[in-house]
Amino acid sequence: MKTKKRKLSLKWRFFAAFCAVSAVILLLLWLCQTVFLNSFYRTVKVYETKKAAQSVADRLYDEDIEYTIASLSTRYDINIRVVDADFQTVYNGADKQTRSLFNNIPESELTYFYEKASQNGGSYTEYFDGFRLEGSNDTASKADKKTRPEMTSFLAVHLVSDNAGGYYTVLVNTTITPVDSVITTLRVILIVVTAVTVLGSLLAAFLLSARLSKPIKRIGEKAKVLATGDYSVEFEPTGVTELDELSDSLNYAKTELGKMDNLQKELVANISHDLRTPLTLISGYAEVMRDLPGEVTDENLQVIIDESTRMSDLVNDVLDISKLSAGVQQVNKESVDLVQCIQSIIPRYNKLIEQKNYKLLFESAAAAAPVLADRNMLSRVIYNLINNAVTYTGEDKTVRITLTEQGGDYTVHIIDSGEGIPEDKLPYIWDRYYKVDKNHRRAQAGSGLGLSIVKQILDAHDAAYGVTSTPGKGSDFWFSLKKDNT
């Protein structure tokens, strides 16, 4: 069963995330500072005492032992006492006023500790409730330790040989004061910190989400405007990298959509214009021929035929480009002779050549130029390029077609002597529906699709192609195809 994902605004998502992180941190603090503080404190104290006892025992014969004992006592707040084999105090690590009860235990009673240590291999530790002996030592069970009163005294004893057959007894003692009042203070602090953290999280969530959701909303609103076809909207920078990238992409999409939309509008205008003109001519001529039987002449009929051809060419262009863009047109590659292909297209211009003195000059560096290509598509490329050259060529009405061979490539150039194409317009001429001259003239009747068809076909053949154009002198459209060696 599909469960519906719950929708949460950015604000509440941030809040939840901040709260979760704060909760983990606070829980750790609660545990460390309140629940475990007593045992941490106790462990540290015991460790320090044991370490101090060990270092006094190790350095007992050092010259500065008195200084060591004094500094250890102050640093760790511990009592250190060293007695000789006769239980006479040799060192007492606290001054008279601050000496604890421990420092004042009569020397006669110290035998107990000495005996315990010597039974235990030279050292031992013991906990006391106050100074009353309880008999539990470090090896006492956990249960014992739990029931031990909180106010505890801890003693570490070490025996050090006096080189005369006897032993010095090093006694180090500390009082482990319960830290309950500290815990209570920390609890209060933590409650305040928790409250501040929750409020802080809420505030941070609000601020952060406002900072993010505002630009997101703004972008969303503008995207809606864009969807209505208004391409003047501008997606402004927001200051957030990811959102800026989104804005940039939307600006790019907007520009492209705008371009496409304009071109499409132009196409519709151009196609309607181009269709209406031949239609008007056809119906006009037909009506004249119907009403005046004397007007049924070959010339008039030719006008009707020419105009119908123009119309069907236009419709074919539109169909071709939509098929090519949709990718439904398959490329059936076979070995095609470029020379033959060009030669078969030139006769289509015979009428222009004969009646209007056009010159189509073809020079080929090879007798045959086999390439691997889709025959129909290749004819279409050559036809479109020659057609443009014928349409745009200059006063001399000349179009030169050359075929050269270099390396493993055949290159076809179609050169005219027309107005050329301004350099800034060159990158756009391959775009669909693009026309350099926006004033649609019938003399240059084209759908603006010719070069786009050329581009799509040549791209599908992985062919190199391009144009060099000198305004006022003419253009040279070229493409190269690999030699078919099979």
Cβ nearer to ligand ADP, comparing 126 with 317: 317
* 416 touches ligand ADP (CB under 6 A): yes
415 scored as a contact of ligand ADP (CB under 6 A): no
Q: Which of 320, 446, 461, 481 binds ligand ADP (CB under 6 A)?
A: 446
**Shortest distance, CB of residue 444 to ligand ADP, whole angstroms?**
7
Q: Is 15 in the site for ligand ADP (CB under 6 A)?
A: no
Among 92, 329, 452, 456, binds ligand ADP (CB under 6 A): 452
418 contributes a contact to ligand ADP by CB under 6 A:
yes
Q: How far is the CB of 429 from ligand ADP (least distance, A)?
A: 4
458 binds ligand ADP (CB under 6 A): no
Least CB distance from residue 416 to ligand ADP, whole Å? 5
Stretch that binds ligand ADP, among 34-42, 355-363, 402-410, 446-454 (CB under 6 A): 446-454
Where in 354-373 is the site for ligand ADP (CB under 6 A)? none
CB of 369 to ligand ADP, least distance (A): 22
In the complex, what is the shortest distance from the CB of residue 324 to ligand ADP, in angstroms, rounded to a whole number?
13
CB-wise, 57 or 314, nearer to ligand ADP? Answer: 314
Residues 421-440 vs ligand ADP: string with x where CB under 6 A?
x-------x----xxxx---
Interface residue with ligand ADP among 80, 82, 336, 389 (CB under 6 A) is 389
Binding mask 462-481 for ligand ADP (x = CB under 6 A): -------------x------
Closest distance between ligand ADP and the C-beta of residue 425, in Å?
A: 8
- When CB distances to ligand ADP are compared, the closest residue is 446
Measured from the CB atom, is 187 or 473 closer to ligand ADP?
473
| Reduced 3-state DSSP string for the chain | CCCCCCCCCHHHHHHHHHHHHHHHHHHHHHHHHHHCHHHHHHHHHHHHHHHHHHHHHHCCCCCCHHHHHHHHHHHHCCEEEEECCCCCEEEECCCCCCCCCHHHCCHHHHHHHHHHHHHCCCEEEEEEECCEEEEEECCCCHHHHHHCCCCEEEEEEEEEECCCCCEEEEEEEEEECCCHHHHHHHHHHHHHHHHHHHHHHHHHHHHHHHHHHHHHHHHHHHHHHHHCCCCCCCCCCCCCHHHHHHHHHHHHHHHHHHHHHHHHHHHHHHHHHHHHHHHHHHHHHHHHHHHCHHHCCHHHHHHHHHHHHHHHHHHHHHHHHHHHHHCCCCCCCEEEEHHHHHHHHHHHHHHHHHHHCCEEEEEECCCCCEEEECHHHHHHHHHHHHHHHHHHCCCCCEEEEEEEEECCEEEEEEEECCCCCCHHHHHHCCCCCCCCCCCCCHHHCCCCCHHHHHHHHHHHCCCEEEEEEECCCEEEEEEEEEECCC
Q: How far is the CB of 390 from ligand ADP (least distance, A)?
A: 9
- Considering the rule CB under 6 A, would residue 451 count as an interface residue with ligand ADP? yes
Which residues are at the interface with ligand ADP (CB under 6 A)? 388-389, 392, 416, 418, 421, 429, 434-437, 446-452, 475
